Amino acid sequence: MIQQSTMTESIYTTDISGLSNINELYESSLIKKWIKLIPSDKTISFEDYSRKDHFIPIADIVLDTELCTTGKKQGNKKRNTLIQFIPTISAEAFNKKTEWLYLFVINGMYLRGCDTTELVYSFFFQIPETFMF
């Protein structure tokens, strides 16, 4: 008798989102095909990253919920974006036209590094499910 194996999608119970109900949120999401759960054991803590001293926090990534307050679009979203960068450094330094190296950290876990060019052309990282609502 030959056993046929089936391919099943792995569900992780220790995702870096830190949410205890991440699997339920993932399964019920309307945009599930765009979400990638990242297991904690597939990344490292930023505190354990050997080159962490070469980086400083420059921005927080938050859900973009800003609305227009005047004009014809009053009450509508100001931008057609899901997320927004909120600088934690001076606006002058943040907006300076230069090459940056980025580390994306979610809940203290190092997720991905890239440079300015790569950031512009391939902005792929996990947005915790709580941002999707």
Share of the chain above pLDDT 70, in %: 77
Share of the chain above pLDDT 90, in %: 17
Question: Which pTM value belongs to this model?
Answer: 0.60
Residue 30: pLDDT above 60?
Answer: yes
* Span 96-114, average pLDDT: 83
pLDDT tier at 119, thresholds 50, 70, 90: low
Residue 3: pLDDT above 80?
Answer: no
Q: What is the pLDDT of residues 58-97, one digit of tens each?
A: 888 888 899 999 999 999 999 888 888 889 999 998 888 8
Residue 8, pLDDT score = 38
* Span 12-41, average pLDDT: 84
Name the residue with tokens 């679009």.
73
| Residue predicted with more confidence, 19 or 123 | 19
